[in-house]
A and B are shown apart, each in its own frame.
Chain A
Amino acid sequence: MTLELRNVTKRVGVETHIYETDLTLATKGFNILLGATNAGKTSLIKMMAGLERPTSGEIRFNGENVTGVSTQKRNISLVHQFFVNYPSMNVFDNIASPLRVARESRKDIERRVHEAADILKLRPYLKRRPAELSGGQQQRTALARAIVKDSSLVLLDEPLANLDYKLREELRDQLPQLFADRGAIVVYATSEPSEALMLGGHTATVMDGRVTQFGETSGIYRTPRDVATAQVFSDPPINIASAQKRGNEILLGETRFAAQGPIAARPDGTYTLGIRPHFVTSTPAPNSAAVSGTVQVTELSGSESIAHFAMGNDVWVAQSQGVHAYDVGEKHDFYIDTTGCIFFDGHGALVV
């Protein structure tokens, strides 16, 4: 099964929500839409669901054009960021609702609802109404409604965003199993790079209404095609600065280090250097080069220390293992692992 977006755009009034987009999604693994809030993930999902019609372009399902087909006539499940269940029905009836609309037999409904309830550990709550459930139970009910249906397209729009940390981890582990072997195309929208990496599958990075890259999740993380993709797929945000290549050396402000990797073969000139925060630490290592900056903000997570520091006009983030003390407002030396540097040319494209 495939879901194909062909030259799809979406404009509302004078605003463009989605610029021309081509995307082909398949059944294998999750298809993750990764991007910040308002990047256009929900617009894409609504168009895939048929809740909104693209301004131009086509949506094809298994090669068939379904652009104008109403949502009711498509076999779709959708789970929202907000816990959406029917307030007047108990959990059983909520899960059963898509089956009832499809006029399945009473016996079938009972069997399938119980199956779904078992998978999502909702058995004890079948008699309760949504208002009497915790957030996690409400969202599990919504997920049960999505899996009970055997739909060919499952759309999950930040389904874990409103859950607390513990539940989020638990459900995130379960999700890929839930939808494995169901033969459905699963689309999962998230704003967290770490979530995309944990779920695996394929990722489309979305920024300001454009899909900047689509491919295998880990591949995109390792070699983002351009600066925008690298920025979307990094948390804390990737450090960016302008750097010069001169001969065999890279000049980053007053720091110089040897050019290695693909950049070594490129002509001299100005490039954009990108380096993920975990390659910038406060302890020197064999391959590292020192940079210094004024510490602005520090965050401690226990296993990691994060420092935001100003270097010229750029603000960088350093992510070091262990607990480090930084004096805010003071100059501090940081060490960049030069093997972690990636370079983009004048058009923002990755140097390969």
Chain B
Amino acid sequence: MRSIRINLENGKLMGIFKVNILFFIISIFVFTKLNSPELYSQNQNQKCLICHGKPDFKLKNDDGSVKQLFVNDSLLARSPHSKISCYDCHNDIVEITAFGHKKNVNKVQCTRCHYENNPVGAPETEKYLEFQESVHQLELNKGNPNAPNCQSCHGSHDIVKRKSLSSLELKKKITQICAKCHLDIYAVYKNSIHGSELFEKNNADVPSCTDCHGEHTIKKHDDPLSSVYETKIYGTCGECHASEKIFEKYGIKSDKIKTYESSYHGIAVQFGEKTVANCASCHGVHDIRPQDDPASLINPANIVKTCGKCHPDANANYTMGKIHLNPHNEDSGSIYYISGFFKWLTLITIFLLAIHVMLDLFRKLKHKKALTK
């Protein structure tokens, strides 16, 4: 506009055309360049980073809390979202002036891109549908300000692809993510057999939070659909404690789940009974420890107390004997031998009875035939 005005003042008509054509060409060039997504997003992001690129850029709320507004550009550049612009996610910011943008910025909705058959090529997932039923979404719906959304766990600008982490790194990271809210549980878990194996021995076979509780599907433990619900927990523990893969790797043969299933507790659980003991009732929840640990619920010193949670008059006598009895296993002692004795007794008796019946039948039929002749 300015150039046109100058040219008009000079009164050179041809010059107007020349400059206009030049301007047009430059505009097309610039426009096409800007329209290439990388440059466009970079340019746009540069604008945002004028403020958000400063590490000390923060907002002081009325209640005195401080909100970090710094966006680490280098982390963003390494994230899978490096090629999209700020506006793609923060789509409610339309106007930026020298004083910044509107105050109450909406939370980013990941489902803008991440849904099935999306046109922009974002990884398609139905996970967010599972999340709809989760305890976290239910809390969000209730308006709980502390309830997590996608970015609370996945991260926002620093988001990384799950596959870029080893399973050990992932498991450790998950505990830290959950600990942002569930710190008390993290502290207990850290000292349990699972936690100490993970953190001290770097064992990636132990369960971290999501292995038991589920990820997007996570439900409150008293929700019948929860993977840690009273009647479901033995199956969840069994994912590892009845797993052939784990047995092979560690050279153990554990029948704890099977023997639980055939115990009175296990049978009742399978019929939906909630008042009977499940794995966690005796072994603990986040505080599971090996039996020789003095703090273990199943340590001989604590076992009476543990049984006493449900059987108030339990005494030392009551707990004398093995739990998780397998009649087919020699370790079960007397049970193994008595069961074997009965098995053979029954088999031999049945065998003799069968012989008796066959002989008797044969004789009687022969006798009958002789009579009818």
A, B co-complexed: no
Chain B residues packing against A (C-beta within 8 Å): none
Chain A residues packing against B (C-beta within 8 Å): none
